[in-house]
């Protein structure tokens, strides 16, 4: 039986950035012929609007079709391009965050024993004291000092000293 408490959280299903940006670009591209039509409609004579609309669409169907296909294609390709670059930045940022976490762990722990450093203890103690004061909760600290720990490490090796 698997222990789901220790399992990493499942990654949510996400549409890749190039695809989502390309779809957004296509939707934006559809606005171009609609915008051109609305600008012409705004300048049309209101009394003959129905006749104007019929003539406008039949006489300029090629114009609206060309504008629609051209802008949708251009905006889709531009969206794909932008999405590809954004996805690359996300991957690099994720790798940098992971590397920063690794370096932070190396900076606060001893490479041989894996024990936290004294400076890290001071940092964590200050944070925990602030939290306890702010929340009005008690704080307990347990510190142990093993006498002659160096002799244990030197005599039996670091593998025994770590155990």
Residue in this structure with the two tokens 């409609």, named with its chain if needed: 41
- Give the span between the Cα atoms of 18 and 90, in whole angstroms: 12
| Token duo for residue 48 | 């003959």
pLDDT of residue 1: 47
For 28-48, what is the mean pLDDT?
A: 87
Measured CA to CA in angstroms, residue 8 lies from 3, 4, 11, 30 at distances of: 11, 8, 9, 42
Q: Which residues of 33-54 are buried (b: 16+ CB within 10 A; e: fewer)?
A: beebbeeeeeeeeeeeeeebee
* Contact yes or no for 32/26 (Cβ under 8 A): no
Q: Determine the Cα angle at 30 with ends 26 and 34, to 5°.
A: 170
User: Is a pLDDT exceeding 90 seen at residue 21?
Assistant: yes
Give the residue among 125, 153, 48 at the shortest CA–CA distance from 117.
125
- Confidence (pLDDT) at 148: 74
In this predicted structure, what is the pLDDT of residue 141?
86
Q: What is the DSSP letter of 104?
A: H
pLDDT at 89: 92
The answer to whether residue 7 scores a pLDDT higher than 90 is no
Which ranges constitute the DSSP H helices of 44-117?
Answer: 49-59, 61-108
Task: Check: CB of residue 153 under 8 Å from CB of residue 115.
Answer: no
- Taking the C-alpha atoms of residue 61 and residue 49, their distance in angstroms, rounded to an integer, is 17
Model pTM score: 0.53
Residue 109 backbone phi and psi in degrees, to 5: -125, 155
């Amino acid at each position: 039986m698997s222990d789901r408490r220790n399992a990493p959280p499942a990654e949510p299903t996400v549409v890749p950035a190039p695809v989502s940006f390309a779809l957004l670009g296509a939707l934006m591209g559809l606005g171009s012929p609609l915008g051109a039509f609305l600008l012409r409609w705004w300048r049309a004579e209101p009394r003959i609007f129905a006749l104007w609309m019929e003539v406008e669409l039949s006489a300029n169907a090629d114009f609206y079709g060309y504008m629609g296909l051209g802008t949708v294609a251009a905006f889709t390709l531009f969206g794909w391009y932008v999405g590809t670059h954004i996805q690359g930045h996300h991957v690099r940022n994720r790798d940098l965050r992971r590397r920063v976490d690794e370096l932070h762990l190396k900076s606060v722990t001893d490479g041989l024993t894996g024990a936290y450093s004294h400076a890290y203890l001071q940092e964590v103690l200050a944070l925990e004291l602030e939290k306890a004061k702010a929340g009005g909760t008690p704080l307990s600290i347990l510190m142990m000092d093993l006498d002659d720990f160096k002799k244990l490490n030197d005599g039996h090796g670091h593998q025994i000293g770590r155990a």
